[in-house]
């Protein structure tokens, strides 16, 4: 199984500042035949189901604000919130879909400092 | 608008059985793979099972294989999860989630229900 490890477990960022979340996979999720990284990011606010933010490691889902961006390749990935807003308080999860079993990271809780 | 509505959760003793349902609307249900993902209280997301759109091919997490069965009725736009030999560690909020891709699954999810809570306890 591919183990997804997120860091940090939590972070507190001032409004308008940058938040950076890391996700490391235990093996590469880059499929070389199409040069795509099989990695998604979700946002989960309190009491709500997850919401898809990013797929293919860096493609923003329709309707997601452009302050959210994804980067990285193979085993190391980053979700960046360029200017944190109050409505971004949530837990963020990465997920690999390279193969089953599908696996999620442990989550990173983002709060306002 | 895609809507997924789970039902069937509840309090069940260890060793018991339960069937969850997920009623779908707002999209062509029979054209998308569907999935169950669970979340224990205060814990991370855990994928449980997936079922393809038309072939009905299924795949399971090791933690539930042999105890849980995923199925679908495309005529009723409904996804099911039959759960048996339930354990305390199966206690979780169970979400149904729609695959993003029309046809063959890609295995990431663009729509989720609100979840149904399963509590396994005496």
* Cα–Cα distance, A77 to B75 (Å, whole number): 41
Cβ–Cβ of A101/B107 closer than 8 Å?
no
pLDDT tens per residue, range B24-44: 999 999 999 999 999 999 999
When pLDDT is cut at 50, 70 and 90, the band that residue B90 belongs to is very high
Query: How far off is chain A from B10, nearest CA to CA, in Å?
Result: 18
When pLDDT is cut at 50, 70 and 90, the band that residue B58 belongs to is very high
- Report whether B51 contacts B58 (CB < 8 A): yes
Q: Which residue matches tokens 């809780």?
A: A109
* Cα–Cα distance, B44 to B49 (Å, whole number): 16
Does B110 lie at the interface with A, CB-CB under 8 angstroms? yes
Kindly provide the b/e burial profile for residues A61-94, where b requires at least 16 CB atoms within 10 angstroms of the residue's own CB.
beebeeebbbebeebebbbebeebeeebbbbbbb
Query: How far off is chain B from A85, nearest CA to CA, in Å?
Result: 23
Does B112 lie at the interface with A, CB-CB under 8 angstroms? yes
Q: Determine the pLDDT at residue B103.
A: 86
Q: Of B47, B50, B95, which is closest to A103 when you measure between CB atoms?
A: B47
Angle at A67 between CA B109 and CA B4, to 5 degrees: 25
Q: Determine the pLDDT at residue A100.
A: 96
- Report whether A99 contacts A4 (CB < 8 A): no
Average pLDDT, chain B: 97
Q: Of A61, A97, A101, which is closest to B106 when you measure between CB atoms?
A: A97
Q: Of A55, A100, A106, which is closest to B44 when you measure between CB atoms?
A: A106
User: In the structure encoding, which two tokens stand for residue A81, read together?
Assistant: 């919130």
- Report whether B78 contacts B98 (CB < 8 A): no
- From the list B119, B104, B97, B121, the residue with the least C-alpha distance to B49 is B97
- Confidence check: pLDDT of B54 > 90: no
pLDDT digit of tens for each residue in chain A (113 aa)? 999 999 999 999 999 999 999 999 999 999 999 999 999 999 999 999 999 999 999 999 999 999 999 999 999 999 999 999 999 999 999 999 999 999 999 999 999 99
Does B9 lie at the interface with A, CB-CB under 8 angstroms? no
């Amino acid at each position: 199984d591919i183990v997804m490890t997120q860091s940090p477990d939590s972070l507190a960022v001032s409004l308008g500042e940058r938040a950076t979340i890391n996700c490391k996979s235990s093996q590469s999720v880059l499929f070389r035949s199409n040069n795509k990284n099989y990695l998604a990011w979700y946002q989960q606010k309190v009491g709500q189901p997850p919401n898809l933010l990013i797929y293919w490691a860096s493609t923003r889902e329709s309707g997601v604000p452009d302050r959210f961006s994804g980067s990285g390749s193979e085993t190391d990935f980053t979700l960046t919130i360029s200017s944190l807003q109050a409505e971004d308080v949530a837990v963020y999860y990465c997920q690999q879909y390279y193969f089953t079993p599908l696996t999620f990271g442990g989550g990173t809780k983002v709060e306002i400092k | 608008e895609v809507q997924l509505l789970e039902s069937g959760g509840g309090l069940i003793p260890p060793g018991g059985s339960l069937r969850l349902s997920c009623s779908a609307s707002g999209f062509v249900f029979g054209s998308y793979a569907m999935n169950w993902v669970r979340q224990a209280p205060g814990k991370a997301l855990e994928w449980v099972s997936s079922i393809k759109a038309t072939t009905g091919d299924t795949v399971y997490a090791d933690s539930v294989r042999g105890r849980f069965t995923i199925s679908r009725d495309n005529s009723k736009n409904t996804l099911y999860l039959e759960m048996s030999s339930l354990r305390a560690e199966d206690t979780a909020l169970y979400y149904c989630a729609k695959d993003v891709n029309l046809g063959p699954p890609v295995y990431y999810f663009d729509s989720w229900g609100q979840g149904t809570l399963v509590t396994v306890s005496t």
